[in-house]
Amino acid sequence: MQFSENKKTCLSLIIPVFNEADAVGLFIDKVTKVFEADPFIEIELIFINDGSTDETLGSLLAIQENDSRVKIIDLSRNFGKEAALTAGLDAAKGDAVIPIDVDLQDPPELILEMAAKWKEGYEVVVGRRTNRDSDSWAKRVSANWFYNVHNIMAHPKLPKNVGDFRLMDRCVVETFQQLPESRRFMKGLFAWVGFRTAYVDYTRPERSAGQSKFNGWKLWNFALEGITSFSTSLLRIWTYIGLGVSLVSFAFAMFVVIKVLLYGVDVPGYASIIILVSFLGGLQLVGIGVIGEYLGRTYIESKRRPIYLVRRTYERSGKNGS
Ligand code: UDP
Ligand code: MG
C-alpha cells in the first residue's frame, strides 16, 4: 500500500483470549504505552473471546468503557485459537493486521519495528524467536521434531521458531480470506499464501499472567493437524511400505521353497510366524488409522460448517451488538 507522511495508518491487533482475565489489563497498559509515542499510528484492538469461562469478557467490557479502540467479538463457545484468529482477520479493518497473544509473550513494542519494515515495502513481517528459553525442555524438543518432520513431508516448508505473531498487509489478509477450508492450521496457511516477507528477531519472554493453554496432548494433535493439512505423504508412504513388505516376503518364500527342496519340511517356526503376523497386523492397523485420519478430515471439511460462531460483537462507535 501507499504511505503518505502525514496520513495516519491504522493497525488492527487481533488478540484471541481464552480465560485470560488476569492478562488483558496488563496487555492494554503495555500496548497503550508503546503506541502513545507515535502520532501517525492509530490502532484497533480486536479481542476475540474464545469461550472463556472466567471473568475475561467482564474485564474486556470494563476496559472498553474508557477505550474506544477496543472491539470485542464474543464467540459462542471455545473454537480454538485458529478459529478465533480467523474471526479476528474477518473483522479487522486496518491497513495492516497483527495477530498477537494477550500474555505479552509477543512483545507489542516489536510492532513498531514490523511497521517500519512494512513501510519499506514488505507485505508480511514475521516475528522470529531467537531462542526458546521460555519454553519447557519437552516443548523445545517436540517443537524441533515437529518442524523437521513437517518440513520433510509437507510443502511449503514452515520457517522454524515462528508463530502467529506477524504483521500482514491488507492485501495479504484479503487473499487469506479466500482460503475456503474450515480446519485452519494458521502457521501453514500463513506460509502458503507467500508474499514478500521480512523477519524481525526477538526473545520470547515468560507469560505475563495465567497459564499456557496448550498442553502435551493438545500440541500433539496440533502437530498432526499441521502435517495432515499440508501433506499427503503419510497416505502415500503405505504404498512403499506395502511394496517393501511384499518384496521381503517374496524373497522369504523363495528361500523357503529352495530350503524345502534341498532339506525337506521343517516343523518349528511357530514363534517367527506369530511375530510376523502380529507385526504385519499392527502395521496394517496403523495404515488404516492414517487413511481414517484423512477420510475424517475430508468428512468434516465436506460439511462446510462455519469456522466460528459469534454470540455478540461489542463495538463502541456506531452499532452495538449483532
Ligand atoms: N487461546 C485461544 N483459544 C484457545 C487457546 C488459546 O484463544 O483455545 C489464546 C490465548 O488466550 C492466548 C493465545 O491463544 O492469547 C496463546 O495461548 P498460550 O499463551 O496459552 O499459548 P503458548 O504461548 O503457551 O503457546
Ligand atoms: Mg503464551
Task: State mean pLDDT over 157-169.
Answer: 88
Question: What atom of ligand 1 comes closest to residue 79's alpha carbon?
Answer: 8
Report the b/e string of 212-245 with b at 16+ CB within 10 A. ebeeeeebeebbebbbbbbbeebeeebeeeeeee
Task: State mean pLDDT over 246-250.
Answer: 83
Beta strands per DSSP E along 203-275: none
How far is it, in rounded angstroms, from Cα 49 to Cα 204? 24
Distance 104 CA to ligand 2 centre (A): 7
| Grid cell 516376503 in the structure block, residue | 249
Distance 35 CA to ligand 2 centre (A): 22
Task: Please list the helix, strand and coil fractions of the chain in percent, rounded to the nearest 5, in that order.
Answer: 50, 15, 35
Residue 128 bridge partners (DSSP)? 162, 201
3-state SS, one letter per residue, for 71-104: EEEEECCCCCHHHHHHHHHHHCCCCEEEECCCCC
DSSP state of 302: H
Of 4-18, 94-108, 205-219, minimum mean pLDDT range:
205-219
Average pLDDT of the chain to the nearest whole number: 86
pLDDT band at 5 (very low <50, low <70, confident <90, very high): low
Greater confidence (270 vs 56) lies with: 56
Residue 321 has pLDDT above 50, yes or no: no
Task: State mean pLDDT over 91-99.
Answer: 94
Most confident residue range from 79-83, 177-181, 301-305: 79-83
Q: What was the pLDDT predicted at 212?
A: 80
Q: What was the pLDDT predicted at 61?
A: 93
Q: Evaluate whether 203 touches 128 at the Cβ level (below 8 Å).
A: no
In the sheet that 124-129 helps form, which strands lie side by side, from edge to edge? Answer: 197-202, 124-129, 162-169, 96-99, 9-17, 41-49, 70-75, 310-315
Residues with CB under 6 A from ligand 1: 16-18, 20, 50, 78, 80-81, 84, 101-103, 105, 212-214
Distance 200 CA to ligand 2 centre (A): 19
Residue 48 bridge partners (DSSP)? 16, 73
Residue 214: closest CA among 164, 139, 129, 293: 139
Q: What was the pLDDT predicted at 282?
A: 82
Task: State mean pLDDT over 56-73.
Answer: 92
Q: What was the pLDDT predicted at 322?
A: 43
Distance 14 CA to ligand 1 centre (A): 12
Residue 52 has pLDDT above 90, yes or no: yes
Q: What was the pLDDT predicted at 49?
A: 96
Task: State mean pLDDT over 71-97.
Answer: 94
Residue 8 has pLDDT above 90, yes or no: no
DSSP state of 209: S
Task: State mean pLDDT over 137-161.
Answer: 83
Q: Find all residues with CB under 8 Å of 199, minimum gap 6, and list them.
A: 125, 126, 127, 128, 159, 162
Ligand nearest to the CA of 73: 1
